[in-house]
Amino acid sequence: MKGFIKEFKEFISKGDVMSMAVGIIIGGAFTAIVSSLTDDVIGPVIGVLLGGINFSTWGVTVGDANINFGNFIQAVINFLITAFVLFLIMKAFNTFKDKAEKLAKKEKAKEAAPEIPEDIKLLTEIRDALKK
């Protein structure tokens, strides 16, 4: 049992698990922001553009069951907005990462190219002059 508890402690304290937990928490907060964006900003604008249509009221009653497909449409809109915002974030991140990698390569190239000693430079100039 002690080995199991030790293994569990190692698993839970690994950086990957902690990063995943932070990501899930931030994802929950991000969901609230996107929901507010769609419900309070984009939804009303779409409603105005479509002549005051409110998706959340769309539904059909079949017997005793209410099928609220308007809520489904709203969920699809929320998903598309979330996916688009994540796309923009990842695009910006990848652009930043590419620029950072290019800068690192330039710095590494500068460090990799050793400084040519003065005597070698002078001998190279003499050699070039003699060739002429």
> Could you read off the pLDDT of 43-99 as tens digits, one per residue?
778 778 877 766 777 888 888 888 888 888 878 877 887 788 778 888 998 999 999
Q: Is 38 exposed, middle or buried (0-12, 13-18, 19+ CB in 10 A)?
A: buried
User: 98: helix, coil or strand?
Assistant: helix
pLDDT at 15 over 70: no
Instruction: Please identify which residue in the block is written with the tokens 């994802």.
Output: 27
Residue 97: the pLDDT is 93
The CA-atom distances, in angstroms, between 62 and each of 58, 65, 119 are: 13, 5, 94
What 8-state DSSP symbol labels residue 57?
G
Measured CA to CA, the distance from residue 5 to residue 53 in angstroms comes to: 56
